[in-house]
Every structure is written in structure tokens, then in C-alpha cells.
Structure 1
């Protein structure tokens, strides 16, 4: 990964860590390993092929934060958002794209749910007839919806390494049988409800990934990180998906940064520093993020 821009200086908060698209802070003067709260800031950065690209996508961080918060409000499960007395305020400079999270003991499992066969899952299916050890019917094509969504967890590798698809049995070895089953059940339940809600709004939720942690005091399973956003999920337009006169790439055009990936694949040989994104690609990408937000929530962002 290429170098990240210097983190913002935010009054009352100390920078802890920066990933490709998000920055973490702890309350100033508190021990980073034990502080009760974290500030999670969604940047406008966009990444592809393990590179952070220039320029950023205007408003992306705010759109993803608002969409994630909207989904949290739809899901009847404990989540990582900190509320109530004693919760530090979000700094004005990032008020539209940051949340204060309570600290959790995060599980090293990326909880992937697939309602359609596409992407890396389709590649694996072509090779083995299965996805993460789950046998699927013969003769399926890229983009086919599955009769029932499947849970295909991944091990969250240390920073700088690639995540590894694993079986449910392997996830049980990592976190214990009871937790592994709880992660699977919660992931499938949330996905199914979200898929049905998205369908009412003319959108196909093809797949997504969840992350969960444990409340260190109560032991409660808590939904964490971003949830059901364009960056963590694959959404398709239902009407376009149903139009069989279109090519596969047109039918499966997703509401995310696929426009960026496609342009980069056609314009760069993946050697050296990636080129700067043209303004039209930046604006088209922003428009896709915005369209999904409006379609799902029924309102314009704040």
C-alpha cells in the first residue's frame, strides 16, 4: 500500500491508526489499549488493487457513515455506536463522517454472506463446484441468485496481509464453536432482513461482510464496523439485473467503486504508481454512492 496522507489534528483526540479509508482516534490523554471510546473517521479516500488513489471521492465518507448509521437503526441488534452520558462529542471538523464507538473485543472473523454467486465466489465455484467448502448445484452462472444465502467466513489477516477464506469449522477453531455459530446465525439473519428491505426499494443485495465484537463487560455479541455500505456490500439495480438483453457486466454493475476498478484496469498495467483518476470517473463514482443512499433510505443525505 502506498503512503497515506497525514491524519487530521482533532481537538480532544489522539490519532491511533489509519487504514486505507478510515482513521481511528482515542480520547486525548487516555491509554490507547484500554480507552473506553474510539473515534472512527471515514475518509473520502478510495482504494483499488491495494493502492490509495488520487483524488479522493468528494462526500464519500459522509455518505458511507450516514448509510451505515441508517442501517444500524433498522437492525434490532446491539451495535458499536456509543451513546449516553460520558460519550465524547464528535469534532465539528468531521461531524458528518465520524462516529464515536465503544471499545469491543473484536473477533478475527470477517462474516461474509453471499446471496448471489459472483466475484471470488464464482471463480472458486468454477474451479471446485463449491464456495468455502459449501457445495453448490452444477450449472450456475455469474450473478445467479442462490436459493438460500450462504455464510462464507474469512480470517482477518494481520495488516499488510490478505484475508483468507475459511470454513465454518476453521472459524470455530479460531473463536470457539459457540461464538462461530452465533456469528453465522447473526450474519444470516441480518443479511436476509436487509436483502428483503433492499428488494422493496428496487435493489438486489448480492453479498456483504459483517464484523462483530464482544462487549468486554457483558459478553454481549455486538455488530461493529460499517454495515451494509457500498464499500462492504455488493448491490445491483433490480430492474437492470432482470434485463436479460444486457451483457453480464451491465446487469451486474454495482453501486460502488467498480467504475474506478474498471478504469484502472484499462488504464494501468499495475506497475509503479497508479495514475490520477479523471474527474469524470470521480464524479461517476460519487453518483453511484449517492444513488444507492437515496434508493435505500428514501431521502437525500444531510
Structure 2
């Protein structure tokens, strides 16, 4: 989020809870509870509707929360939700790779814990005019930050065919990327593509009938790919996670919730590199400067329980990973 998040809650809307809330609180607690002599600092880097943030503030009465989101609507809503916590809360209109800049502007040397709840938020999906969902007819926008940047309409109407196909293949993992891209190009030559419904129908007809009968809405992969491209999600994530790890002191923790394999692959690779001993092979003992800087807190990616997905269906694809800093960077 975030970029947004997958809180799945509209303020205090009943029946909606933040994804993996109990596990997130459990993993973050040791990092903030070890702090003495000052207020612990927690960054919710994908604030969304503020569900995780509210729970952290309630669980830890001295906690200072820094909440980031690129979506101004999310910031407005979470500001109202978190208002009872007063000056313990600082909300910033920023993308999550800007963590070092935000900390610098606030005069903070670092953060004790950081949460990333990646992907598109429930309100973004549920508000038809945002253009994220193929189930509503809306303008092709898909920007998480509607104050700047190109829209999905700009992408589908201006990108060269080969670039369109690459995005669909890499970001949407679409097997029929070439066919879908060709269909988009043919359509835009007649008239610009401006509607989610028109695009979804175009994708459906471009994909072979046998494939359309399984795997849900065939437009899902194309919409995912366009959203990732419009918001630069993967490039941002590749920069954001190392930046967040660099802001943590020894004992600090990061928790990451991701919702598709592309994000999770980056998370796994970055955390594994930080948790590895880089002593050259053949030496009898590990070299102090090459020992792991982090330890992994999860064995692989943790998946949601059946109870979690029953309560919150949007948690179905979540993958959780977490790590703790155990040594300062050399």
C-alpha cells in the first residue's frame, strides 16, 4: 500500500478485521517492549484504514506510531480512526520506500518495528471509481496516489505492444500476454480504452474459451499487472524493504504481509541475504564482520488459517514473513 493495505475494514465496520492481526501483534511486541527510557517507535508503512495501527497503539500505551500511505483518502480515514491517540500518532503522505526520508524529517534515528501490508486495500477495491476492480465499471485509473502519476488508461492506450505484453507476462503472470496485448492494441486503434468493463470484456474474449472456464475471472491477471505498473509496486518494494531493515536497531523487527508471489519472492530473497553468514568458504570459523545481521522469525512464509480466511476472505492469498536485527551493520 501502500501503498494501501488489506485491512479489510471500513473504520469500525463489523465483520472486517485486519489481516493476521494477532500474529502481527505477537511478532512486533518483543521489539517495542524491550525499549526503555523513551517511547518505542512503530512504522506502519502501509497504513490503509489504520486497523493494524489502532491495535498496536492499544496494545502498547507508550508507543509512537508513524503511519505512511500514498493514498490521501486512506490517510483522511485513518486520521479520524486514530484521533483518540492524539500526539502519539504522526501520519505522512509518502510511499513506503521513503522511510529514511520520513524518519529524517521527524528527527528520529530509526524505528523499533516496521509493518508492511502490501497490495491494494479493501477500500480501494470497494470504491468503484478507483478503477482497481473488474467487477465495477469505472474509469481506468488504478493510482493509489491520485495526486500524481500515469493512470491505467495511459498505460493501455500508449505503451508499445511488446511493452504491454511484457507487463502482463511479468506482473500478471498471464500465459496469454501476447494475445491480450494484441487485443488491447486493436481496440485502442478504434477508440481509446477508458473503462474497466470494456477492458475486462476485451481480456475475456482474448483468452481461449477452455481457459476461461477455470481459475476465476480471466481479467484478474491483467488488472493486477496494470496496477503494479501504474504504482511501480515491485520497484518500490525492492528499495523499501532494505531501507526499512536499515532503520532497525538490534532487537528491531520487520513484519511483511504480501499477497502474490512476485512480492513474496523479493521479500524472501532480501531477508535470506540479511540472515546469511557471508564468511568465505573454507575458513575454520565465521568472521565477525560476515555473520548474519538478521534472524528469520518465520519458517518460510506463514499462511493464513482456515478461521482467518473464513473471517476475512481477502486474507486467502496472504504470505507472512518476519525478521529481527541481531547485529549492527558493519
TM-score norm. by structure 2 comes to 0.24
Query: Which structure has more strand as a fraction of its residues?
Result: 1
From the CA coordinates, give the structure whose radius of gyration is larger: 2
In terms of fraction of residues, the more helix-rich structure is: 2
